[in-house]
Structure 1
């Protein structure tokens, strides 16, 4: 009888100990699942997903107004900035792309970017910033050789002159090399009779200046 009692007590202790451990582990497991779900929900609600990308505009322009394009999602309002000043606001609710002409650019360097935001202004993002040069003046172009309305007995003559830095130059649609200081020097072959030399200088903004030199080539007798 005593032996049976001892066995019963031992079995009861083992069952109680193991059962309590299982209950505790189960409670911790459920608790961990609940806590993880709470963290995920909070993280999802706090990390707003919205994008805005501004396409790279031209590096230079000869117009005071410029068209900016790009992509936007999950925002309601888009603000356009030039040199830190807001110049335009458009509605982009339910839109994924935008195209907007803005201005006015100031002479030389301008910093352009856009900022997207929700109606409650709690969420916003700013795009990359781009620098655009605004120039509307024609480049300088001076031809020192040959002289206009001149005559020569040589079928090959030098062409010499100056223009602005960072300008592309063509002579009768063929490119000429311009030095770092804006000077250029080359030679050109003439046809017998009247020749027209058309020089065209184009700057980075697309402004052009052209000059036409007329020269007559007549062989010596």
Structure 2
């Protein structure tokens, strides 16, 4: 092979390579100028209010994102997909396990673009009713005299619970203990003491007190 032949081959080879590069560039530019080309990811799914605690074994999770996009729910146990409706709304029906249930969401549009992930959510499934104990007064206690018409109800419950006595709210100390003054009526007084935890579980105690002037 002569030197001239080598030079011609080298020149032609470079030209072919340049032509290929130009062709690829033209295709990319053509695709990007095409109105149907989409490289913009859908917006991050917006999740409506979720409970921090629940006593229900299954919950509905509602939200919205770009219409027609695929919304993915990712948990420690796997993932589930639904398609957002024409208004962008979507719904997941999620079975919970006892304790922490952590998950996040993201959307993928028809062009394959994916949004960023949402924050990680955590819903605690709790089916155990709170503890509640009444230390004073004892059930069926009889009180005499107007000076004893107002009695102190003493007890303790879970510190995160809401306690009521005959539908009146009771303040709890940091350790869950409480003292509540209750004015008795003449005769029989039935007191219903309820403790409701953040998941909605309820414990109830009843005591009957009597008052005679």
Residue of structure 2 in register with 1:29 after alignment: none
TM, length-normalised to structure 1 = 0.71
Residue of structure 2 in register with 1:124 after alignment: 114
Residue of structure 2 in register with 1:145 after alignment: 136
**Secondary structure, counterpart of 1:124 in structure 2:** coil
TM, length-normalised to structure 2 = 0.74
Residue of structure 1 in register with 2:6 after alignment: none
Superposed displacement of residue 88, structure 1: 2.8
Mapping of residues 46-125 of structure 1, within 5 Å: 47-51=39-43, 52-82=45-75, 84-92=76-84, 94=86, 96-107=88-99, 109-118=100-109, 122-125=112-115
In structure 2, stretches of 5+ residues that fail to align are 1-28
Superposed displacement of residue 47, structure 1: 3.7
Tell me if the contact between 1:77 and 1:93 (Cα under 8 Å) persists in the aligned partners: no
Looking at structure 1, the residues matched to 39 and 79 of structure 2 have their Cα atoms a distance apart, in angstroms, of 29
Looking at structure 1, the residues matched to 69 and 77 of structure 2 have their Cα atoms a distance apart, in angstroms, of 20
Tell me if the contact between 2:140 and 2:209 (Cα under 8 Å) persists in the aligned partners: yes
Residue of structure 2 in register with 1:135 after alignment: 126
From the two aligned structures, give the one with the greater helix fraction: 1
**Between Structure 1 and Structure 2, whose CA radius of gyration is higher?**
1
Query: Which consecutive segments of 4 or more residues in structure 1 shift more than 6 A?
Result: none
Q: Per-residue displacement from partner, 1:165-204 (whole Å, max 9, x unpaired)?
A: 2111111111101111111112111011000111111111
Q: 1:70 to 1:97 in 2, by over 3 A?
A: same
Mapping of residues 1-221 of structure 1, within 5 Å: 41=32, 45=37, 47-51=39-43, 52-82=45-75, 84-92=76-84, 94=86, 96-107=88-99, 109-118=100-109, 122-125=112-115, 126-153=117-144, 154-219=148-213
Higher alpha-carbon deviation: 202-211 or 52-61: 52-61
